[in-house]
Amino acid sequence: MGLLPLPLTLLLAMVPGAAAPVSAQPESSVPMTQEVFERVLVEGGLRELTLACEDSDRFGANERLQLLRDRLMLIAPAPQSFEVVMANARAMMSCKAPDSAQVVLSRYGPGVGRRRREWLLLSWQAASAALDQERIILALMRLADGEPGRLDGEQLVVGFDESGLPTTRSALDLLAEAQIASGKTEQAVITLLAGRTSGVIAARRLGLAAQLLDALEAERSIALLEAALDQAAAAQAWNQAEDLLRLQLRLELAAGGSGERPRERLRRLATRVDDRFTLLELDQGLAGVALEQRELLQQELRSPRSPGGHAALGESAGPEAGAPGVDVQP
């Protein structure tokens, strides 16, 4: 590719941010001129084409994006070095062409070590952008060398917040989600159970595994839910514990059971943390609770973070007569 002819270099210098690294480009208020775009399309290298892709995407120039994608497919035919293939694939991602990025990546075998990791992560990014669940699974399983538990501590960037800071998620959870979306329920359960993190995260994973297993192995599902409840209690994650008990109640009722045990456990926990909304939900099926009392409870529901709300632990006062298990304060 070499150095660009001087005229194009000068033209690009007139584009705001063109002299800065692509990853640090300041946003321009106007799109690249047609003259500059046409010169980049014909004479530009990967860096300039990436800049043009970002500019076209920012201003919704879909026709330009398609022209740039076509050019990027031809600019660096195989065989090429690892660096060129990766730059070409990243340029495709900038052009919103994740499927084409996968085609470019296929031109180079990742090998081992650092290059293999970079190649697999970019392959995962492209698959995620294309919502290609099978490729997501393939990339993450390769990243883990076939052992999902290795992904537990791997945090992958899945987006950016309002401040521009990256948001991350565990690669293990992303793998399980892709497996669920692909209908690979048993594989998803294996992945979720391979996690080593304790506390709230473990409780969520165990609860999801129990829900997935319910139709396959009811007894094992019950055991997983109990383990999830233990993890939630250890972390004092009471909202999560309530959600798990709701799940346990729903599964038991779906199986034809009475649901009495999880219902009472949920009532005791809701009473302890003063979660009046959950208590109200439980009482909606009881004939002994008057409609006026339910309306009063709804009016008195507190914010979870207000004094006495269910985010603050502590034993509730005794229930008012005629309303078992419900703490109604004046």
DSSP lists the bridge partners of residue 157 as 168
Mean per-residue pLDDT of the chain: 80
Residue 121, Cβ density class (10 Å: 0-12 exposed, 13-18 middle, ≥19 buried): middle
pLDDT at 316 over 70: no
DSSP H or E stretch at residue 145: none
- Return the structure tokens found at 127: 């698959």
Could you tell me if 225 and 255 are in contact, meaning their C-beta atoms sit under 8 angstroms apart? no
Q: Which residues contact 241 (CB under 8 A, 6 or more apart)?
A: 203, 229, 232, 233, 269
* Coil/strand/helix, residue 33: coil
Higher-confidence residue of 328 and 226: namely 226
Q: Is the pLDDT of residue 248 over 50?
A: yes
Residues 235, 255: Cα–Cα separation, whole Å: 30
- ∠ CA 150-153-157 to the nearest 5 degrees? 115
Interval 211-222: pLDDT, tens = 888 766 777 788
The long-range contacts involving 305-309, CB below 8 angstroms and separated by at least 24 positions, are 308/274, 309/274
pLDDT tens-place string over residues 275-293? 888 888 787 753 223 445 5
